């Protein structure tokens, strides 16, 4: 990984491992429907459980799975086997996309071997988003630029034209654009983070926001602008050039299902059998 400031914004974002619950209640494939139904009925927190053979995730059983089953029946006969799971290295924002798009309340978190290491819930995702602080992000980026490039920086609050921005990220996720669109329509969107490098306006953070704004026909948007005292060669500018990123039209929209860290238990099992 290059020691460039954009890594602080794009690569070091909070991960699922930072917010997941590590102590997870599970059931065994050989437990009975009656036993698991009683556990759910006696619990205020659980409407289902990961089904694990040891620590390996075989599936998930919910109250709905138990409705028409007989009490003596083993859980492995009624559980859902092909479930969506998250990886601990997945960015929390990507987990949020999966939860939002799938309607699942909780995602089991598994390592590369398919072993359960935690569970991430929609409440955990909300907590991670509440903790975002753009001014702190701006300050960290300013200090990084000063340290790496030996250049002075100042911060300005500006309204910037979308047509003047050079993106530094090649893709955005379609479902997250819906959330950013809602925020813009209701005046809830955070400002962008932009670097003014001798007149070249590099978009450091806020690619979903600018794509959403473009969808809505918005021509300008509020931004924190970091102004460099002199022009320097930035890694993010090189990223833009290599990716042929000249305007926000060059940013691709992709669906969350193509994210490399989204797996299902059935796909994981198939990978291990190869």
Kindly compute the dihedral angle of the four CA atoms of residues 51, 255, 91, 200, in this order, to the nearest 10 degrees.
180
8 Å CB contact between 121 and 106: yes
Domain boundaries, the chain: 10-129, 133-257
Helix/strand/coil for 192: strand
Place of tokens 């569970």: 119
Place of tokens 């969808």: 215
8 Å CB contact between 88 and 20: yes
pLDDT for residue 1 is more than 50 = no
For the chain, report the end-to-end CA distance as a whole number of angstroms.
Answer: 31
8 Å CB contact between 49 and 36: yes
Give the per-residue SS3 of 209-247. HHHHHHHCCCCEEEEEEEEECCCCCCHHHHHHHHCCCCC
Query: What pTM was computed for the model?
Result: 0.53
pLDDT in tens, 3-32: 334 444 445 678 899 889 999 999 999 999
- Mean pLDDT score across all residues of the chain: 85
Provide φ and ψ at 206, rounded to 5°: 125, 25
CA angle, 172 as apex, 170 and 178 as ends, to 5°? 160
Helix/strand/coil for 138: helix
Percent of the chain with pLDDT over 70: 85
pLDDT in tens, 162-186: 999 999 988 888 877 877 887 888 7
* 143, 168, 178, 186, 201 from 158: Cα distances, Å: 20, 19, 25, 20, 12
pLDDT in tens, 33-82: 999 999 999 987 788 999 999 999 999 999 999 998 999 999 999 999 98
Q: Confirm whether 10-129 and 133-257 share one CATH topology.
A: no
> Of the candidates 239, 80, 233, which has an alpha carbon nearest to the alpha carbon of residue 150?
233
Give the per-residue SS3 of 19-67. HCECCCCCECCCCEHHHHHHHHHHCCCCCEEEEEECCEEEEEEEHHHHC
Among the four given CATH numbers 3.40.50.2300, 1.10.10.60, 3.10.580.10, 1.25.60.10, the one describing domain 10-129: 3.10.580.10
Per DSSP, what are the bridge partners of residue 253? 172
Structure tokens at 47: 């409407």
pLDDT for residue 256 is more than 70 = no
Angstrom distance (rounded) from CA 93 to CA 201: 25
Please state which of the ranges 7-11, 100-104, 130-134, 215-219 shows the lowest mean pLDDT: 7-11
- The CATH number of the structural domain formed by 133-257 is 3.90.1530.10
> Of the candidates 66, 69, 74, which has an alpha carbon nearest to the alpha carbon of residue 29?
74
> Of the candidates 169, 148, 111, which has an alpha carbon nearest to the alpha carbon of residue 228?
148
């Amino acid at each position: 990984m290059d020691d460039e400031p954009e890594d602080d914004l794009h690569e070091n974002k909070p991960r699922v491992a930072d917010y997941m619950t590590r102590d997870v209640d599970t059931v065994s494939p050989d437990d009975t429907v009656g036993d698991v139904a009683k556990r759910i009925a006696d619990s205020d927190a659980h409407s289902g459980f990961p089904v694990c053979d040891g620590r390996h995730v075989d599936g998930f059983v919910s109250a709905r799975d138990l409705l028409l089953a007989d009490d003596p029946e083993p859980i492995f006969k009624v559980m859902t086997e092909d479930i969506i799971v998250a990886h601990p290295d997945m960015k929390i924002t990507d987990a949020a996309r999966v939860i939002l798009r799938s309607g699942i309340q909780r995602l089991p978190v598994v390592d590369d071997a398919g072993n359960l290491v935690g569970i991430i819930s929609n409440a955990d995702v909300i907590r991670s988003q509440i903790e975002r602080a753009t001014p702190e992000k701006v300050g960290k980026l300013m200090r990084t630029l000063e340290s790496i490039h030996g250049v002075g920086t100042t911060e300005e609050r500006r309204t910037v034209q979308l047509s003047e921005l050079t993106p530094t990220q090649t893709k955005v996720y379609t479902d997250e654009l819906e959330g950013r669109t809602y925020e813009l329509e209701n005046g809830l969107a955070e400002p962008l983070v932009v670097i003014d490098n001798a007149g070249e306006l590099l978009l450091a953070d806020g690619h979903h926001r600018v794509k959403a704004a473009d969808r809505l026909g918005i021509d300008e948007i509020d931004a924190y602008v970091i102004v460099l005292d002199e022009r320097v060669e930035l890694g993010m500018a090189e990223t833009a050039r290599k990716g042929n990123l000249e305007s926000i039209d060059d940013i691709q929209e992709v669906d969350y299902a193509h994210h490399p860290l989204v797996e299902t238990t059935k796909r994981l099992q198939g990978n291990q059998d190869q």
